[in-house]
Amino acid sequence: MFTGIIERTGTIVSLVAPDSGLGGVNRLTVAAPEIAGRLREGDSLSVSGVCLTALAVNPRLFHADLAAETLAKTSLGLLASGSLVNLELPMTAGSPLGGHIVQGHVDGAGELVSLEPVVPETSAHFDRKTTDWTLRVRVPEPVRPWMVLKGSVAIEGISLTIADFDGEIVSIAILPLTYWRTNLHALKAGAPVNVEADVLVKLAWQQMQSKKLEFELTEAWLVASGY
């Protein structure tokens, strides 16, 4: 379980395909000297919002195997060597829940539509280090029912608040700290981004759907209800 508060970024070293003797999985290697030294083999961690298991850990990097489901649902299989990824270790009992409950179970890869500074770059007051930003992400269609105005969403593992949603694209305010501390500053328009909806919203939505299924408009119901 995670909170969506990113600790550090790491760098993709390689992604080894199945024809390299690893069977059906792809092996991801991430350079993360500030995180890897705290890992033991078998530990879980979030890599850009995807919960993975650390393997063959050394003080500078770790490896993780990616199953077919992970490659199909997330952006990890599309990242080139040198790409930045967001890293978070699991929360421990008693830790403050600074963001929201993030499972690391990505619902799908969305598309970064734009990431623009609130102060225009042409303005005399523009300062790339201190301005805030507006992030716009096209959400995968199956995930859209779970986008709630002012609700939470994890983008690339980052706990964020939905400022606006037009039914397809979410808009999110990004503070300078978030912009520079995460991989957002390295992403370009069109980049795939991992999206995980708030698990509490998903549970509430599923309960509503089950109640709808339980109700059936029948002649007996109409008679009993006085119609």
> Which range (19-28, 52-61, 159-168, 218-227) has the least confidence?
218-227
Q: What is the mean pLDDT of the chain?
A: 90
H helices present in 170-215, as ranges: 176-181, 199-214
How far apart are alpha carbons 151 and 162 in whole angstroms?
6
**% pLDDT > 90, the chain:** 73
Report residue 129's pLDDT band, with 50, 70 and 90 as the boundaries: confident
pLDDT at 215 over 60: no
pLDDT at 133 over 90: yes
**In the chain, what are the domains?**
8-88 (2.40.30.20), 108-212 (2.40.30.20)
pLDDT tens digits, 149-197 = 999 999 999 999 999 999 999 999 999 999 999 999 999 999 999 999 9
How far apart are alpha carbons 54 and 73 in whole angstroms?
20
Report residue 86's pLDDT band, with 50, 70 and 90 as the boundaries: very high
* CA angle, 79 then 90 then 77, to 5°: 15
Task: Compute the radius of gyration of the chain from its Cα atoms.
Answer: 20
Contacts of 127 (CB under 8 A, 6+ apart): 119
Of 22, 57, 32, 30, nearest to 43 by C-alpha is 57
Contacts of 211 (CB under 8 A, 6+ apart): none
